[in-house]
């Protein structure tokens, strides 16, 4: 039987003595949250989507990371809805409303 020790390949650690600055607000960080920047769509991710080209990890404060992820998600959803609508008309409410003929 094996001893059960598994070796994980860890990404190279940045120097811990150096204080990281938040990519978003420039503040010095006590607690760093690393987000991966996609070269493919320019968004930041906790885990970069499959097939995206990574620009690498960037340091964020915890709150800024949360904000950044929300913005990324909004960007993605905006783009996705652009892709999904074949014609550029943003609202077609008329087709959804029951037509009241008087
Ligand atoms: Zn920040």
Residue 71's H or E segment, with its range, is helix 62-84
The overall average pLDDT reported for the chain is: 82
Residue 1 pLDDT:
57
CA 40 to centroid of ligand 1, rounded, Å: 23
Ligand 1 is an ion; its neighbours by CB within 5 Å are 22, 24-25, 27, 61, 64
CA 29 to centroid of ligand 1, rounded, Å: 8
Q: What are the tens digits of pLDDT across the range 41-85? A: 999 999 999 999 999 999 999 999 999 999 999 998 998 888 776
Residues of 15-27 as b/e, b for ≥16 C-beta within 10 angstroms? eeeeebebbbeee
Asked whether the predicted pLDDT for residue 33 surpasses 80, the reply is yes
**pTM, two decimal places:** 0.63
């Amino acid at each position: 039987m094996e001893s059960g020790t598994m070796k994980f390949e860890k990404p190279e650690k940045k120097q811990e003595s150096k204080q990281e600055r938040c990519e978003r607000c420039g503040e010095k960080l006590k607690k760093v949250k690393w987000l991966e920047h996609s070269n493919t769509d320019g968004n930041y991710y906790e885990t970069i989507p499959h097939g995206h080209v990574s620009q690498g990890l960037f340091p964020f404060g915890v709150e800024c990371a949360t904000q950044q992820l929300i913005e990324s998600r909004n960007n993605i959803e905006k783009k996705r809805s652009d892709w999904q609508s074949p014609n550029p008309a943003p609202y077609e409410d008329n087709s959804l409303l029951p037509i009241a003929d008087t």
